[in-house]
Structures are given as structure tokens and as C-alpha cells.
Amino acid sequence: MIPGCIRSLSRQSSHRNYGSWSKVASLFSSRKNNYATEASFETKPFRLHKLDSGPSTHVSVTKEDALKLYKQLHTIRRMETAAGNLYKEKIVRGFCHLYSGQEACAVGIKAALRDQDSVITAYRAHGWTYLMGIDPVGVLAELTGRQSGNARGKGGSMHMYARNFYGGNGIVGAQVPLGTGIAFAHKYQNTGGVCVALYGDGAANQGQIFEVYNIAKLWDLPCIFVCENNGYGMGTSVERASASTEYYTRGDYVPGIWVDGMDVLAVREASRFAVDHCTSGKGPIVMETATYRYSGHSMSDPGTSYRTREEIQEVRQTRDPITSFKERILNANLVSAEELKKLESEIRKTVDDAVKIAKADKEIPLNELTTDIYAECLETEIRNTTPFNPLSHARLGPAVNI
């Protein structure tokens, strides 16, 4: 179809393939200051499984949307860089899994979701938390374990929540049945919504995922299973972990679609298609987003024992989801360099300010140790480390399911 794109479908063979994007129609009728209000591009072909037709590879974006997408992509990158630094300063403790390199997956999917749709993801949850409505302070202060954090600092890196966003989950693969259950609730309550349940290529081999592929298809649940294939489950490459690395086909009887996860517009297009598929009563769909993680699996992993620095460098230079999107919208005259620069400096300020708050903020008082263990606590007291000084239970959060 677009030979120049097909050329470099696989991760390994990637060259500057975003450069091969065809700017099909960058100039539309209403021009102001020589800038377009909408531009169209060709994406890499989608790969389909058990689908007669897929989304169009011809995608367009308005100036307004382009700026919004860019803002989201850049904010996540900036926030993750800040998170990494906070970790190195030993202010963030324990786990910290960075999303840098994978931003286009979340941003593209979010752009296709409606108000009634839900999301649940794995432990790499910072970017999604921000996209689902939590500001950088809520994310970064959660990482530093302070009271302005999304879960008042009690959840940590992997446990953040928002309206229609059911977390972060620290157990590899466990969020996928939960997401299927959220999709079940959408259907049961006739909300018209879908649930996006995300997992990595590592989790893709978990048995419970196959269990819920089966149930979701059997019951036609509006669930979009998204496998973010970043090439490695911790330090094990997909080839060393999966007998089939065609993750979009691994739902077997569940239709699937492969999309270039470094291309935010392609992800948005595929996600719109997936939402339409689910809401038309056809049941679930699997979407594999081919992406890459720049950082190690977590902060304790330098990320270089199982892959080369050159490989990371090459992806950064040739496939980076932010640089490529920036070049496209600049080349299409959709936005000006000045506009992006202004946006970037606003984002830098927002994130820098958030970092300051996340560092300076207080931790919650000690009595919150035993707050919100139960929505309705029936224990008369909560046992302390010794029986001589029992603690009392308190309620603080809104408990949305009373």
C-alpha cells in the first residue's frame, strides 16, 4: 500500500521510517498565516487478525488536537524524566517504572476514548494517571509519598486512581481480568462505555489473560485488550518469552489489530476502530501497540545487560514518538516552532513546580496508617505492633461504591 512504510515494519529493521510518512494533504481551505488547520498523513499499515477490514491508514489531525496530543506526549516525557531524577535523589522509594518511549500508546488511546469509557493498566501507570485527569502534582507527590499524591502517598508508583481509571496494578497480568470485569459492568449497566485493559508483552503470557479472552468473547464484553509490546518483559526479550510474538493474534478467536505504537495518530485511529468494534456489539478486540521502553524495567535496572546501548540510541533517533510527531506537525505547517516552544516551556514550568511541591509537601499524619482499610470498619480497634497501644480506624476517602 505505502511501500516506503511497509519497508520497516519490524522493530529491528526500523530506520527513519517516520520520515517516510507521506504528507498527503497538509493544507486545507481555511488558512491563516500560512498555517493549516488540519493535516493528513499515512500511517504504517495496520495488521489485522480475524478482521475483514481495519482502520484507514489515512489519518488526519486538526491543529487543536495536534497541540493537545503534543502537550500530553511532552508532559508525560517531562514528568517521567522528573520522576527518574527524584528516584536518583532517593526521594522516590521502592518501585518506579518509567513510561518514556511508550507515550504515544496512552496518548493515542486516550484521544479515542469517550467520557463513558474506562481504563485499567499495569504498574507503568504514571502517564495514564495524568491522562485520566490527575495533574502532575498528584502523580509526582504520590511518587514521593506525600499528602498531595493521588492516593495521599499511600499507594505509591503503581497505585493511582481517577474517575473511570482503576489503577495501576502491581501484580503482572492481574489488571486484565479486572478490566474485563469493568467492561462487564459497562455492559450490565448499559453505559455504552468500553474498558481498555492494558498489559505488557511479558504479562501477555499469563494464563489469566487467556481465561478472560475466552470469557470476554463468550459474553461479548466491550473490552479492548491492549498489549503494549515494548520488546522486553523485564530483561527477557519477546523472542525468549513467547512462542508467538504476534500478540495481536493471540486472542485466537478474539479479533486483533497491530499498530505502530510509536505513532500517536495511528494509535488513535486504531483505538477509534477498536471502540467502534466493541460498541457495535462485536465483543472484545486485542490491540498490540509496537513500542519501546527507553529506561530499564524499573529504576534498579540499567537496561543494558539484555540489549545494547546502540539499540536504545537507534530507537531514540529513528522512532521516538514525540520527535516524530513534532516533525510531522511542523512539516505540515500545522503548528509553528514557536508555538511548540511556548508549550514546552509551559510544560517545563508545570512539571518543575510539581516537583517542588512533591518534594516540599508533607507526608500524611501517622493516624492515617489505619485509615480506609474498610469502607465500613467493624473492628473495634486495629491492632498495633504490640497489643498495648491499639489504633483506631478512620474513614477519609469518598468510597465511590457505597
39 forms part of the interface with another protein (CB under 8 A): no
- Kindly indicate which of the ranges 128-136, 174-182, 267-275, 340-348 contains the residues binding another protein, using the contact rule CB under 8 A: 174-182
382 secondary structure, DSSP code: B
CB of 363 to another protein, least distance (A): 13
CB 357 within 8 A of CB 141: yes
- One of 108, 181, 256, 321 touching another protein (CB under 8 A): 181
Q: Which is nearer to another protein, 19 or 94 (CB)?
A: 94
Q: Which of 41, 166, 248, 292 binds another protein (CB under 8 A)?
A: 166
Element (H, E) at 350: helix 337-360
Q: Tell me the window of 48-56, 170-178, 234-242, 255-263 that interacts with another protein (CB under 8 A).
A: 170-178
Q: Which stretch binds another protein (CB under 8 A): 108-116, 299-307, 334-342, 378-386?
A: 378-386
Q: Contact region for another protein (CB under 8 A) — 45-53, 102-110, 148-156, 273-281?
A: 148-156
Q: Does 226 sit near another protein (CB under 8 A)?
A: no
Instruction: State the Cα–Cα distance between residues 372 and 379, nearest whole angstrom.
Output: 12
The reply on whether position 154 binds another protein by CB under 8 A is: yes
Q: Which residue has the cell 478512620?
A: 394
Distance CA(222)–CA(192), nearest Å, equals 9
User: Using the rule CB under 8 A, is 274 a contact of another protein?
Assistant: no
Question: How many CB atoms within 10 Å of residue 170?
Answer: 17
State yes or no: residue 303 binds another protein (CB under 8 A).
no
Which DSSP helix (H) or strand (E) runs through 4?
helix 3-6
Strands, E assignment, 291-340: none
Check residue 214 for interaction with another protein (CB under 8 A): yes
Return the number of the residue (167 or 200) whose C-beta is nearest another protein: 167
Side-chain half-sphere exposure of 199, counting CA atoms within 13 A:
28
Minimum gap (Å) between residue 369 Cβ and another protein:
10
52 binding another protein? (CB under 8 A): no
Query: Which residues sit opposite 198 in a β-bridge?
Result: 226
The residue from 182, 198, 226, 270 that contacts another protein (CB under 8 A) is 182
Work out the angle at residue 10's Cα, subtended by the Cα atoms of residues 7 and 13, and round it to the nearest 5 degrees: 70
CB count in 10 Å sphere of residue 345: 10
Closest CA to 119 of 51, 160, 189, 167: 167
Instruction: Report the distance separating Cα 334 and Cα 257, nearest Å.
Output: 29
Residue 397 touches another protein, criterion: CB under 8 A:
yes
- Residue 402 engages another protein in binding (rule: CB under 8 A): yes
Question: Which one of 51-59, 121-129, 133-141, 368-376 is the stretch in contact with another protein (CB under 8 A)?
Answer: 368-376
Closest CA to 344 of 2, 106, 67: 67
Choose, by CB under 8 A, the member of 161, 199, 232, 292 that binds another protein: 161
212 is a site residue for another protein (CB under 8 A):
yes
**Least distance from another protein to the Cβ atom of residue 123, Å:** 12
167 binds another protein (CB under 8 A): yes
Q: Contact region for another protein (CB under 8 A) — 34-42, 69-77, 106-114, 152-160?
A: 152-160
Q: Does 373 bind another protein (CB under 8 A)?
A: yes
Cell of 110: 486516550
Q: Is 372 near another protein (CB under 8 A)?
A: yes
Q: Return the residues of window 96-125 that contact another protein according to CB under 8 A.
A: 118, 120
DSSP letter for each residue of 71-134:
HHHHHHHHHHHHHHHHHHTT-S-S-----TT-HHHHHHHHHH--TT-EEE--S--HHHHHHTT-
Amino acid at 202: G
**Residue 24, φ and ψ in degrees, nearest 5:** -80, -50
286 binds another protein, rule: CB under 8 A: no
Sign of CA dihedral 71, 74, 76, 81: negative
Interacting residue with another protein among 1, 243, 337, 378 (CB under 8 A): 378
How far apart are alpha carbons 44 and 35 in whole angstroms? 25
Residues that bind another protein (CB under 8 A): 118, 120, 150-152, 154-155, 159, 161, 166-167, 169-171, 174, 176-186, 188-189, 195, 207-208, 211-212, 214-215, 218-219, 371-376, 378-380, 382, 387, 395-402
